[in-house]
Amino acid sequence: MKFSIKQSVLVEQLTIAIKGVSTKNLIPILNCIKFSLTKDGLTLTSTDNEMVIITFINKDKIDSIEKTGEVVISGKYIYDMVKKLPNCIINIEEVADSKIFITTEKTEFSLNCNNVYDFPSLDMDYKEQPVVLKRKIFKDMINTTAFATSMQESRPTLTGINFILDKDKIEATATDSYRLSKKVINISGNHEYSNLIIPTRTVLELVKIINDEDKDIEIHIFTNKIVFKFDNIEFLTKLINGSFPDTSKLIPETFEIEAQVKYDDLYSAIDRASLLSSGDDKNTILFELKGDTVKISSNIPEIGMIEETFNTSNKSNKSISISFSSKFMTDALRAINSEEVLLKLNGDVKPIIITSTKNSDLTELIVPIRTY
């Protein structure tokens, strides 16, 4: 393998490939990036055995291709090194003793290579009729649900986002069993039903490498993997085995109380009250609604207490007093991010449902905390 390439071109693609490199140091080959140079261009591949990232640099962006070939090199070292080089032409050459030489005018750098045959291969596959949607919509769907994912490995299915594809819509749901976030989007076409769980960790890496251009992303769904395709990038992630809990019946259809409040009023009140919320990770705050007044309060007896009041824009003759985690509330509000939000309640032991007043495609559910 021997070629010359502009530093900025290589670093741009290495920045993508490095995201697929394992962050655990257990299996050295998974810390590597595979360089495959053909007459058509350079392919960079990285994998941590859960996901695969392939990015391609077309020959017209490469200054010279003198000898094709394949090498497998430490992702961290090649990325850090190339990033630190000035934006000049870099020569990369494989030499005997499984080494590569990276040279510029002033720098000479050699890296030991790993065996190409040890690099795991996970096959990309493509459907004839993939799901196609705008990147912005896809990213938004992930970003507004991923935060509700469970961090606990003890229930693996909850560490992913559930995608239910049915005809012309996708329903994405994440839950850690104390809260839930569900986003519904419409897509074009008439797709076969499928119900799958995408690992949140890997799909968040995908979201990082999708740029904000107003273009499409292709989604190819298989039984045990899912492949995303956009620009010069292919991204594969394995799916999580098992069945996601049926969340369709968790969200009631009727509510005793519906209160419409200003986003800023609610968010800043909870944000301030969270300063004095007790419980290391629960951060309990008390939410009270009476007439058209909302009161949010919290206290730590040895330190002090805080009380926030503001109005809802609709009057209710029912009153309620219910406790929540302030963190779950602010997470949910950040996902909704609408000028006005609708709070829907059914008594003090039933979950609260939060949606935007404008559209109902995103639903946030939070289970109350019982206080005694």
Residues found near a copy of itself in the complex (CB under 8 A): 74, 77, 80-81, 84-86, 99, 106-112, 265, 268-269, 271-272, 275-276, 302-310
Q: To 10 degrees, the CA torsion angle through 140, 144, 145, 150? A: 130
Q: Kindly state the DSSP code that residue 209 receives in the 8-state scheme.
A: H
Three-state DSSP class for residue 338? coil
CB of 80 to a copy of itself, least distance (A): 5
CB of 308 to a copy of itself, least distance (A): 5
CB of 305 to a copy of itself, least distance (A): 5
Identity of the residue, 86 or 120, whose beta carbon is nearer to a copy of itself in the bound complex: 86
CB of 262 to a copy of itself, least distance (A): 11
CB of 310 to a copy of itself, least distance (A): 6
- In DSSP notation, 125-193 reads ---SS-EEEEHHHHHHHHHTTGGGS---TTSGGGGEEEEEEEEEEEEEEEE-SSEEEEEEEEEEEEEEE
For the chain, report the end-to-end CA distance as a whole number of angstroms.
70
| 253 backbone φψ class: left, alpha, beta (φ>0; ψ -120 to 50) | alpha
φ/ψ of residue 331, rounded to 5: -55, -50
Identity of the residue, 174 or 333, whose beta carbon is nearer to a copy of itself in the bound complex: 333
Identity of the residue, 63 or 108, whose beta carbon is nearer to a copy of itself in the bound complex: 108
Identity of the residue, 28 or 120, whose beta carbon is nearer to a copy of itself in the bound complex: 28
Q: Kindly state the DSSP code that residue 264 receives in the 8-state scheme.
A: H
CB of 276 to a copy of itself, least distance (A): 8
Identity of the residue, 84 or 215, whose beta carbon is nearer to a copy of itself in the bound complex: 84
Identity of the residue, 157 or 297, whose beta carbon is nearer to a copy of itself in the bound complex: 297
Identity of the residue, 195 or 293, whose beta carbon is nearer to a copy of itself in the bound complex: 293
For tokens 């030489």, the residue is: 101
Cβ count near 253 (within 10 Å)? 5
Identity of the residue, 80 or 348, whose beta carbon is nearer to a copy of itself in the bound complex: 80
Residue-wise burial string across 92-101, b where 16 or more C-beta atoms lie within 10 A, e elsewhere: bbbeeeeebe
CB of 99 to a copy of itself, least distance (A): 7
Q: For residue 199, which of 158, 168, 164, 227 has the smallest C-alpha distance? A: 158
CB of 100 to a copy of itself, least distance (A): 8
Q: Residue 179, Cα to own-chain centre: how many angstroms? A: 17
Identity of the residue, 111 or 251, whose beta carbon is nearer to a copy of itself in the bound complex: 111
Taking a C-beta distance cutoff of 8 angstroms, is the pair 261, 313 a contact?
yes
What single letter denotes the amino acid at residue 127?
K
CB of 108 to a copy of itself, least distance (A): 4
φ/ψ of residue 17, rounded to 5: -65, -35
